[in-house]
Chains A and B, each alone.
Chain A
Amino acid sequence: MATITLDHIAHAYPGPSGAEKRYALKPIEHVWQNGRAYALLGPSGCGKTTLLNIISGLVIPSDGRLLFDGQDVTRLPTEKRNIAQVFQFPVIYDTMTVAENLAFPLKNRGMERRLIEARVAEIAELLDLTPVLRRRARGLTADAKQKISLGRGLVRSDVSAVLFDEPLTVIDPALKWELRSKLKAVHQALDMLMIYVTHDQVEALTFADEVVVMKDGAVLQIGTPADLFERPAHSFVGYFIGSPGMNFLPAVIEGRQAVVDGQRFDLGAQYALPAGDVQIGFRPDYATVTASGGIPVKLQRIEDLGRRRLARVTLGGHGLVATLPNDVTLTGEAAGLHVQPGHLHVYVDEHRIEGQRMTEPLHA
């Protein structure tokens, strides 16, 4: 168990000489706190696996330092780092039984046999592997094999961190949910630092205390699931997290109002904006459509998701999604849009700008 510090870590693959270095991972600084669960979230190729491999030592970063409890381990080989990692596809040792698979990392470190057996039994119990402990690992299903991989990752109690590289990819959707909650329970039971790479926002948001959203090798935002939802620091975060994603409209800011296609949105705050492309963004969850009043929009169609209804509307040629309350009935194309105050964000060049909220409005 340890605290892991990324000190200006970056990674570039050596490009053709003369050409500018291509960064697979742009410089980041972050401290992973002991005992917490983190998720690295982003689309494929965003650098999240590279970051994970830097922490585990499979990749040596080109720049920066990596500290485990203040100790520099940047160039230390994997086996000296005290890290556990679970891979995307099940990695099991064909020739061994399930129990031997689970015991393998402990045995290699010369742990006492009695202690190994106790620990293996404990982990097997947590992952429901007890009934198959004596079976050969080769003949089991992909789900069971991946559970063994998870178990091998969790079996060492002294590890600095357990890293998961999209561990549920091969798991059946029905079992995915179960394993995810199992992992969450394991995390609470074992009190370890866990870092979990995924491209699935549901996995990230349900598993992690804190989520790191990445894109194109850069970290866009680090925050709790609520932070990411309520205050996306980057328009990509707004768009990537939440289903459907955030609405964005090009706007002109005039005082405490944003003007979109002649329509005025109340921002509730004063903004000092740097130069750049200005957009306003709000989540469909915080916007409602009614038959009249509000900002006039044109209704395109209604999607009934069962639990909630969404209205797809246009405002000056821009498509938007908003919630359609169950008690509202719309006739014809005309409708009115209402955005809850405090949930409207201003972005300049895709980055969120914090407004200066006055305690007292100037005019009532």
Chain B
Amino acid sequence: MLDKPWNNRAWFFVIPVLVFVLFSSIIPMMTVVNYSVQDTMGQNNFFWNGAAWFQNLLDPTTDIGGRFAAALVRNLIFSLVVLCIELPLGIAVAICIPRHGWRVGAALVLIALPLLIPWTVVGTIWQIFARQDIGLLGAALNSVGIHYNDTQDPTSAWATIVVMDVWHWTGMVALLAYAGLKAIPDAFYQAARIDGASRWSVFRNIELPKLQKVLVIAVLLRFMESFMIYTEPSVVTGGGPGEATSFLSLDLVKIALGQVDLGNAAAMSLVYNLITLSLCWIFFTVMTQLEQRKGS
């Protein structure tokens, strides 16, 4: 990192990306900022509204504020739950992936397959799979006496969304962890065998420390993606029953495109964006520091 030469002409290489991102990110954001400080009486008449939308949004006693806080909490719980499941499971899967032969390619392709399915279709797959009448999962659960109904019962709905997310994304963690495991030289495993280390000890003292870097990437990507989750629950539960699975993005789209409540939507967008941005910054800092520590 440190031995890179200083060259400001490198900016020329970055200009295309910069121009593009200005167009694609800054201009739309300005629209949002614009809406967030104005109110409308309809007919495209906007007037200055100051920070009122934000005050409302951040005050949990108001209607919109309560809704936002609830969605935020819901979303954080969801992200935490799926991370707690997907991370260990993904690592376990990665350890189980064969190391040699044709099976490697086959296993990798199968593990990656859910990642390449359009998110709507992921939702559709689970919508069908979870139905009590024509879905294998729903029918099977009910036939063994477990009351399960993902459109009526909040617990069932949550369970479905979590299982669906695990099904959808564990492969990503597994592939990341597999890449990290493959980078460990054989000598480490041989030395551990000679030192008489148990399998757990090998995992704890060799594999886990060496996976640190890829796991930070995994946590970053998984946290962000689950924090922004929209499509899959919107297909399976539509945010319901009631508001039970109404995560931030679902709520936002409901307000912005459904109710066309532009002021609230814009304020919510900005706050939402700011939260992800700060979290992203924390992860990014951790990651670059890890990289530097490795470099030194």
Chain B residues lying within 8 Å of A56, measured Cβ to Cβ, are 190, 194
Interface residues of A in 51-110 (CB under 8 A from B): 56, 58, 77-79, 83-85, 87-89, 91, 93-96, 104-105, 108-109
Q: Which of B187, B190, B205 contacts A93 (CB 8 A)?
A: B205
Cα distance A94–B206 in the bound complex, in angstroms? 7
A interface with B by C-beta (< 8 Å): 56, 58, 77-79, 83-85, 87-89, 91, 93-96, 104-105, 108-109, 149, 152
Size class of B's contact patch? 10 to 19
CB distance from A109 to the nearest CB of B (A): 6
Specify which of A85, A94, A108, A152 is in contact with B190 (CB 8 Å cutoff).
Answer: A85
Contacting pair B198 A91 (CB below 8 A): no
Assuming the contacts A94-B209, A108-B201, asked whether A78 and B193 have C-beta atoms less than 8 A apart, the reply is: yes
What's the minimum C-beta distance from B202 to chain A, rounded to whole angstroms? 10
B23 interface residue (CB < 8 Å to A): no
Q: Is the Cβ of B187 less than 8 Å from the Cβ of A91?
A: yes
B170-200 interface code vs A (CB 8 A; 1 in, 0 out) = 0000000000000001011011011111100
Residues of B within 8 A of A87 (CB): 187, 190-191
Decide if B67 is an interface residue (CB 8 Å cutoff): no
A152 to B201, CA, bound (A): 16
Would B209 and A104 count as touching, CB distance under 8 A? no
Closest chain B residue, CB of each to CB of A94: B209
CB-based contact B201/A78 at 8 Å: no
Q: Tell me if B210 is interfacial: C-beta within 8 Å of chain A.
A: yes
Closest A-B pairs by Cβ, 7 of them: A108-B196, A91-B191, A94-B209, A105-B195, A87-B187, A93-B205, A78-B193
CA distance A89 to B204 in the complex (A): 21
Contact of B206 among A58, A77, A93, A108 (CB under 8 A): A93
Most buried by A among B193, B195, B201, B206: B195
Assembly CA distance A87 to B193 (angstroms): 13
* Contact sample, A vs B, 11 pairs, CB 8 Å cutoff: A78-B194, A79-B194, A85-B190, A85-B194, A87-B187, A91-B187, A93-B206, A93-B209, A95-B204, A104-B197, A149-B191
Closest CB-CB distance, B154 to chain A, in whole Å?
42
